Amino acid sequence: MLKIENLHASVEGKSILKGINLEVKPGEVHAIMGPNGSGKSTLSSVIAGKEEYEVTDGTIEFEGEDIEELAAEERAHKGIFLSFQYPVEIPGVSVTNFMKTAINESRKAKGLEEMPAKDMLKLIREKSELLEIDRKFLSRSLNEGFSGGEKKRNEIFQMAMLEPKLAILDETDSGLDIDALRIVANGVNKLKSKDNAVVVITHYQRLLDYIVPDFVHVLHNGKIVKSGTKELAHELEEKGYDWIKEEVNA
Ligand code: ADP
Ligand code: MG
Ligand code: MG
């Protein structure tokens, strides 16, 4: 589904990613861990196609197609979803109305007509029940006064509605409490299927107690320096990152 080869990227002329190789297949959950500043958020932004980041070498393929030249919006329409770290507040626009617009924009980009209101309601009902989101929440103004957990709930709801093929969740928020972690994890576990894939970016091993990854990769100084299974995450929790830095420098 996603194939990244020798990816180099820079921001404001500063080289950040220095040769990333990563392959994600349908049905897989990958966790990307690593110390602060190692390039985790940069990697997610580059995959999603944020403009500030320049790919200087290497390739990003999504479903067999090179996507480096595509705008973020086009990538989203192809089925790449990136959770946003700092969601915007839109007073007066409810969670539901925001979702309706997002769904219809995405359909329009694919040349489809607007989703009939009845189908939309059914979809909203289905997904909100699956994620145990109550009706009151759906009528609230987008992100206005949302707690950390509510922001996460909204993000996961968006993911559920848009049904991306590849979801990238960048869990950098230092304010992520245990409730918010559970909301994210439950959502991911419920939405996971053999046809979609999830990349979870975190420096919290804790999150991986709830989302069990098939693969764990450690990013250090713009490179994946170690890959393994979920045991690697436990090892990192016990020993920190220093031993990996030492291994790399040895
Ligand atoms: P992580 O998510 O692993 O903590 P980041 O990808 O956020 O790491 O950052 C990696 C490096 O890139 C850091 O040194 C950071 O300061 C720099 N960086 C990231 N985004 C920008 C930006 N928009 N402008 C300037 N420097 C950036
Ligand atoms: Mg950071
Ligand atoms: Mg980050």
> Shortest CA distance to 216 belongs to which of 187, 241, 246, 181?
241
Q: Does 38 sit in the ligand 1 pocket, CB within 6 Å?
A: yes
Whole-number Å distance, alpha carbon 36 to ligand 3 midpoint, is 7
> Shortest CA distance to 95 belongs to which of 152, 10, 36?
152
Taking CA atoms only, the protein residue closest to ligand 1 atom 23 is 11
Q: Does 221 sit in the ligand 1 pocket, CB within 6 Å?
A: no
For the chain, helix, strand, coil in percent to 5 are: 40, 30, 30
155-188 tens-digit pLDDT: 899 999 999 999 999 876 556 778 888 888 888 9
**Cβ atoms of 96 and 89 closer than 8 Å:** no
Tokens of 188: 């991911």
Those residues with Cβ within 8 angstroms of residue 156's Cβ, 6 or more apart along the chain or in another chain: 131, 183, 184, 187, 188, 191
Atom of ligand 1 nearest to the CA of 35: 3
pLDDT over 70 at 7, yes or no: yes
**Cβ atoms of 100 and 123 closer than 8 Å:** no
**Cβ atoms of 179 and 150 closer than 8 Å:** no
60-70 tens-digit pLDDT: 999 999 999 99
**Cβ atoms of 183 and 149 closer than 8 Å:** yes
Nearest-10 Cα torsion for 126, 85, 35, 204: -40
- Residue from 7, 15, 16, 241 to probe ligand 1 pocket by mutation (most atoms less than 8 Å from CB): 16
Q: What is the mean pLDDT of the chain?
A: 91
Taking CA atoms only, the protein residue closest to ligand 1 atom 26 is 11
Locate tokens 């991306």: which residue? 164
Query: Which residues are placed with Cβ below 5 angstroms of ligand 3, an ion?
Result: 40-41, 172
pLDDT over 80 at 245, yes or no: yes
pTM: 0.92
| pLDDT, average across residues 25-49 | 95
- What domains are defined for the chain? 2-86+165-249 (3.40.50.300), 88-145 (no CATH)
Tokens of 62: 């999504």
- Residue from 7, 8, 11, 218 to probe ligand 1 pocket by mutation (most atoms less than 8 Å from CB): 11
Whole-number Å distance, alpha carbon 162 to ligand 3 midpoint, is 24
